[in-house]
Amino acid sequence: MNPLSAKVYLKMIQTCKYFFAKNPILVVERLLMFSDQDLRVEHLGNNNLVDISSVAHKFWIIRKFSNYFCDPVSNFVSFVIPRFYQCDAKFLLLQKQILTLNEFLFLSSNVEDITLNCTTIKNEDDTVIAFEEIVKVIPKVKHIIFHENVPHKITKNTMKELLKIPHFSKIDKICFYDITEDFDIETFYTYFKVQFYII
């Protein structure tokens, strides 16, 4: 009932259909959300458009999860997370979403490449989590694209706090869009020179 990896689970269900019947999980490479009901599921090169309300089993995402359901800002991803068995996605794109920290941690445990486009992560007390706190909980990340939508997520102390994070120096690329003038651009430039950019 608790397979150690997607690879082990796939071998089990290929060996005997009983395992899938007892624990129905669909292992998918990519799961892309295009609307509040339609998911595009890709596995082994096959693409299928799925109405999530008609699916009885859970999904185990092994490569990429993206939502393209953009207007207005919503918490729709929060509503579909209970339909996921596990998310091991290395690529994560979240657009115009509001998530709790626990939901974000569930989606980003293995993330290496992340885009947060006007997405807000909140604590249980409804306070917005600062950008540096988000970076702190994604230790495997290599690439970050961040579109600001809540001004107090990036402050004049953001860069100094980022430099305290042990894995921050291992990030290859960061791109900031639409951040406020509070951001300490001088510290950013001194540290990164030409590696990173701000638009």
**In the chain, what are the domain boundaries?**
63-198
Q: Which token pair is 129?
A: 């989590």
Confidence tier at 194 by pLDDT (50, 70, 90): very low
Residue, of 143 and 3, whose pLDDT is higher: 143
**For the chain, how big is the Rg over CA atoms in Å?**
18
9: its two tokens: 């689970």
Closest by CA to 83, choosing from 31, 138, 122, is 31
Q: Is 45 left (phi over 0), alpha (psi -120 to 50) or beta?
A: left
Here the tokens at position 75 are: 């918490």
Among candidate residues 136, 143, 148, 76, the one with its CA nearest the CA of residue 105: 136
Rounded Cα–Cα distance for residues 90 and 96 (Å): 20
Strands 25-33 and 38-43, by their bridges, are: antiparallel
Task: Please state the separation of Cα 82 from the chain's center in Å.
Answer: 15
What does the DSSP assignment read for 54-118?
A: G--SEEEEEEEEEE---SS-B-HHHHHGGGEEEE--SEEEEESBEEEHHHHHHHHTT-SEEEEES
What would you measure as the largest C-alpha separation in the chain, in angstroms?
Answer: 60
* Lowest mean pLDDT across 67-71, 128-132, 156-160: 67-71
Tell me how crowded residue 52 is: count the other CB atoms within 10 A of its CB: 17
pLDDT tens for residues 138-157?
Answer: 999 999 999 877 666 888 88
CA dist 60 and 167 (Å) reads: 27
pTM of the model: 0.83
Binned at pLDDT 50, 70 and 90, residue 24 comes out as confident
> Distance (Å, rounded) from C-alpha 183 to C-alpha 122?
21
Decide if pLDDT at 129 tops 70: yes
Residue with tokens 């001194």: 190
DSSP 8-class letter at 193: T
Tokens 């991803």 sit at which residue? 77
> In whole numbers, what is the pLDDT of the chain averaged over residues?
82
